[in-house]
Structure formats: structure tokens, C-alpha cells
Structure 1
């Protein structure tokens, strides 16, 4: 994988129960993509426990720096006392880190999509669940845990090249996606994932050399829109994309690039519902 040894992590608080953790990452060890995970924190639900239940979305590789972030956010100092209830693998390509979390925390349940390799999934979204909103009672029938069905909705896009599982956190009105949409090339923003906080020079240009084309991987680039539409298989995924757009989201958190906190639905519509 294209991570630095003992890679640094930069964090951003999205809400009182959601922390984002980002780092630099090179695809094929050459192309600057960056990567991000999210940690969700909810009450234990037990009057006898103050240890929160955690959900990790698109986990970064388990490392001392990542563990420190989890510990600090959870308020639990001991690794052995952490309650990581679920790990969400957002598509078939973001599958390499999840297995170790299962090994470290055997009670963790892993949510993912069909044909995901090297990960022992406990809940697997399959094609017949695809291209529609999985929410409420329907979600409860699939994952009977109020931690999941009270706080989240899902839309599985089986015809996306990487089989994308889009997650919606209801309380924060935030959409979480891995490879559906990148936001690497906004000329008005510096990339958090290649920032001084991670050891890069103040004026570092992440789009040079092999990474030249990444400047077009953003929602208002014609090149980017063309590529995202091809990856998702726009015609076959249209019902799922419309289901996503129907959600009341105001923020998009993606793995690759800066999160979108302004006009998020406009950006989504411009990419996927423009025709």
C-alpha cells in the first residue's frame, strides 16, 4: 500500500460524535490520492457502562498513530477496553485494512459488499439490495441493531466499478463515500491530505508528475465528471443515484480529497444527475 512508514494523521471534528482522520496516500505508490476514515461515537446503551460504542468507516491501516486517534476520541485509554462495534468497508477496493481490526477486536462486526476479498464480512450487501435506499425497518431486518438502523441509511451501487456502498449518517446529515466522487482538484483549496500537518511543505503541489491528472478529479471538472460517470455506470446506477440525492445531506465526506461542506447536493447533482 502507498502509505508512509508510521504515517501521520490529521483529524477534523465533523460533529460531537464524528471524527475524521486523514493521511497522505499514493495509489500504485505513484499517484497522490490521499485517504480518510471516519469514527462514529454513540452511547453504550447500557446504564452500567460509560464506554461508547464506535463505528469505523473506511478504516486506515491499524497503527500506533491511528490507535491514538481512536483512543483520544473515544475517551478510552486502553486498547483492550475499546468497543469497536462495527467496521464499514465502503467498497471492494477499500478492503485491505479491515481484517486487522477484526483480529484486534474479535467482537467487531464488519459490513461490506459482495465479492470483497480478504475480509471476513458479517453483513454483506448483495445485488438485489442495490440501487435503492436501505433504511428503517428494511435495514433493521438486515442488521438488527438500533445503533445501525436508527443512525444510518445505506445505498449500494452494485454496478459501480468498485461496488460502492454509500452511507448516510442521519444526525449530521452527512454522506460518506469512498470512490464514487473525488475532490482532489479544487483550485481554491489546499489538499488537507498533503498539508504541512502531515509533513509536506506549505506550497506543496500534489498534482505534479504521475499525479498531473488528479487536478481534474473534482465535481466541477468536465474530465472528472466524465470519469466518475463511467466508473459508476451512470445508466444502470441511476435509480441508486437518485435515491442518494433524495437524502437530506449538506456535507459529503469522501476518502480522496477535501470534504465538501458547501453546496454538497449541488456538487452531487452536477456529477451524476446532470442529464
Structure 2
């Protein structure tokens, strides 16, 4: 996985407490995938503190650019004062940055899944937790923190090739996923936009990236690949659990987010 040296970050606000940050990223140093993280901001539980608690989902590599984004969104000017309560690893392929955040912020708790060796997980989703909605009291048994079980639901897909941990934000009704579904098949990708230094007419699907145009919900090639990766037969109950959630937007790591007919797109890919 390759990020440009001194890579740039473009941000998008989903709500008052959710900020997305996207950047260029190449798979195998050749194929344009792009990457995206989310930052959640919640009021401090300490009445004497105005510093918000932050949760990072699928964090981009720790860098001055990313830290500046986190600082600005949190309203905290000093990196040392940041309160990063949790880092959520969305699958085994998106874990590389998590350990450094733990190193920089020792009080940070990392949520992830079994099979990750180089990340010091504090909370681990295991196969027994898979293919069902983990919410409310059930989630509380796994992570006993109101910040998590009152605001989020999870569905763990252990039979996905990358062991996908899907996150649902109950407040915004947004679904967050890493490699379950891509949305690269559009001509203007935010992750390769002029704001990030690319030409106005840049074609992200040229050269080695030709096939990425098919990695989207309404491509037969994409639908085949996404179902192959998730192992639909073994993950069916988990996919149905995800579909049962009342989401109106899908935020993915690779490609533009889906803000229109998101549930229909999900159903078309996995449950049609």
C-alpha cells in the first residue's frame, strides 16, 4: 500500500460531530484506490474539561497533515492535548496506522478483529461474534463504555477475505465499511481531485487502474468480486443484519461515498 510522500488530505463534514478525511493511495504502487478515514467528536465526559473525546475510524497514516485535520476538527491546538479515546480498525488490511496512534496516545483503546498480529488490540471481535448485529447490551458486554454502545452498532463478517468489521453510527444513520463495497466507478473521484493536486481532467481509471472503473455497486464485475470477497453464502446472515440497519449513507475507504439510495445499492450488490 503506497501513499504519496507528503500526501495531501481533503475533508468533508457529514455532521457536526463527523468529519471525513480522504487522500490519494495506490495499491501495489500502481492502482488508484484512494483512502478515507472518519473522525467522530463527542463532548468530554469530564465536566471540568472542554477537550472533546475523539474516535478515529480507519485512520490514515499518522502525519502532520492528518494531525492538523484532527486538531482543527477537535478545536485543540496542541497535539499533546488530543483525547483520542478509540481507534477502530475496519478490517485486517486497514490496520497499519493503528499501532502508531497507540504509541503516540497511550490511553487510546484499539477496537479490531482477530488475526491482527502487529496491532495491540484492546477489544477484539471474534468468529463467535460474527454475522449478527452487535448492539446495545450485547455490545456493552464486549465494550463497556457508553461512548461506544450508546452511539454505535457493529456487524462483524469473519468470512470476508479481510475480516470486515462494519460500523453503524446510530445518530447520523451512516454505515462505515472498508473493503466490503467500493465505489470507484465514477469519473470524478474525490480522492484524486484537484484539491489533492491532480489535474482538473485527471482520469483515475487510466493505465493500470483501468479495472477500477468496474469496482462499483452497479457493475457486474464489481458485484461478482464483492460477493466473492465476502463469501456471500457464509456471510448471508451478517449481510442481512447490515441491511436491517436504518442507514441512508455508506462511507467506504475506497471511492466516493454513497449518499443517495445507499440501502438500494447495498441490496443490489449482496441481497438481490
Q: What is the TM-score normalised by the length of structure 2?
A: 0.99
**Who is 1:153 aligned against?**
153
Distance 2:17 2:8 in 1: 22
The within-5 A match list for 1:1-275 is: 1-187=1-187, 190-274=188-272
In the alignment, structure 2 segments of 5+ residues that lack a partner are: none
Distance 2:46 2:260 in 1: 37
Alignment deviations for residues 1-41 of structure 1 (CA, whole Å, 9 cap, x no partner)? 31011110000000000000000000011100000000000
Q: Residue 186 of structure 1: CA displacement?
A: 2.7
Q: Residue 118 of structure 1: CA displacement?
A: 1.1
In the alignment, structure 1 segments of 5+ residues that lack a partner are: none
When the two chains are superposed, the root-mean-square deviation of aligned CA atoms in Å is 0.6
Q: Residue 245 of structure 1: CA displacement?
A: 0.2
Distance 2:6 2:138 in 1: 41
Distance 1:176 1:212 in 2: 26
Aligned to 2:168, the other structure's residue is in SS state: strand
Q: Residue 47 of structure 1: CA displacement?
A: 1.1
Distance 1:83 1:125 in 2: 24
The answer to whether the 8 Å contact 1:55/1:87 transfers is yes
Number of corresponding residues: 272
Q: Residue 117 of structure 1: CA displacement?
A: 2.7
Alignment deviations for residues 130-172 of structure 1 (CA, whole Å, 9 cap, x no partner)? 0000000000011000000000000000000000000000000
Distance 1:191 1:128 in 2: 37
Aligned to 1:144, the other structure's residue is in SS state: coil
Alignment deviations for residues 100-145 of structure 1 (CA, whole Å, 9 cap, x no partner)? 0000000000000000131110000000000000000000011000
Aligned to 2:259, the other structure's residue is in SS state: coil
Alignment deviations for residues 16-74 of structure 1 (CA, whole Å, 9 cap, x no partner)? 00000000000011100000000000010221111000000000000000000000000
List structure 1 runs of 4+ shifted beyond 2 angstroms.
none
Distance 1:220 1:107 in 2: 42
Distance 2:154 2:163 in 1: 13
